[in-house]
Amino acid sequence: MFEFIKSWFQAEPVPESIKTEVKSLVDTNNIMVFSKSYCPYCQSTKSLLDKYSKNYKVVELDEVDNGSVMQRALQEMTGQRTVPNVFINKKHIGGNSDLQSLQAKGALASLIK
Ligand SMILES: N[C@@H](CCC(=O)N[C@@H](CS)C(=O)NCC(=O)O)C(=O)O
């Protein structure tokens, strides 16, 4: 048990290649969503984005090989560990609640355009 707790706190550093992969996804997609397929908050985010365009990029972190390491890279980059983790035009937006509040303020449409 102690070993398990120790390994949790002493996780391997995130490889540069994974950080580069995450940055590249953010840089090459106007709307980038890091998601998990079973996550209800992610579903809300995708439903909202669908109203604007189907043309956004989603990576389901639970369905790709390096998903958990990508999630750690995102935490290092943004301070946010949870999904969805949303970027619009390379800018970190935050999670579903952040996206929904932009929508409620009427600020999302202009951000996406
Ligand atoms: N307030 C957050 C809640 C997001 C959240 O709690 N997501 C869960 C998945 S449904 C999560 O990331 N849990 C940790 C994990 O999956 O590693 C938001 O609005 O995006």
Rounded to whole angstroms, how far apart are CA atoms 67 and 102? 27
Could you identify the atom of ligand 1 that is nearest to the CA of residue 95?
20
Q: What is the mean pLDDT of residues 53-64?
A: 95
In a domain, residue 89? The reply is yes
Question: Is the pLDDT reported for residue 10 higher than 80?
Answer: no
In a domain, residue 8? The reply is no
Rounded to whole angstroms, how far apart are CA atoms 90 and 107? 17
Indicate which CATH number applies to the domain containing 53: 3.40.30.10
**Domains in the chain: how many in total?**
1
Tokens linked to 109: 């449409």
In a domain, residue 44? The reply is yes
Question: Is the pLDDT reported for residue 3 higher than 90?
Answer: no
Q: What confidence tier does 28 reach under pLDDT thresholds 50, 70, 90?
A: very high
pLDDT, tens digit, for every residue of 72-84? 999 999 999 999 9
| Protein residues whose CB sits closer than 6 Å to any atom of ligand 1 | 36, 39-41, 82-84, 95-97
Q: Which domain holds residue 81?
A: 17-112
Q: 59 CA to middle of ligand 1, Å? A: 15
Contact 35, 45 (CB under 8 A): yes
Q: What is the mean pLDDT of residues 25-33?
A: 98
- What does pTM read for this prediction? 0.92
In a domain, residue 23? The reply is yes
In a domain, residue 35? The reply is yes
Q: Which of 34, 38, 41, 63 best tests ligand 1's pocket when mutated (most atoms within 8 Å of CB)?
A: 41
31: which strand partners? 88
Could you identify the atom of ligand 1 that is nearest to the CA of residue 98?
19
In a domain, residue 6? The reply is no
In a domain, residue 1? The reply is no
In a domain, residue 107? The reply is yes
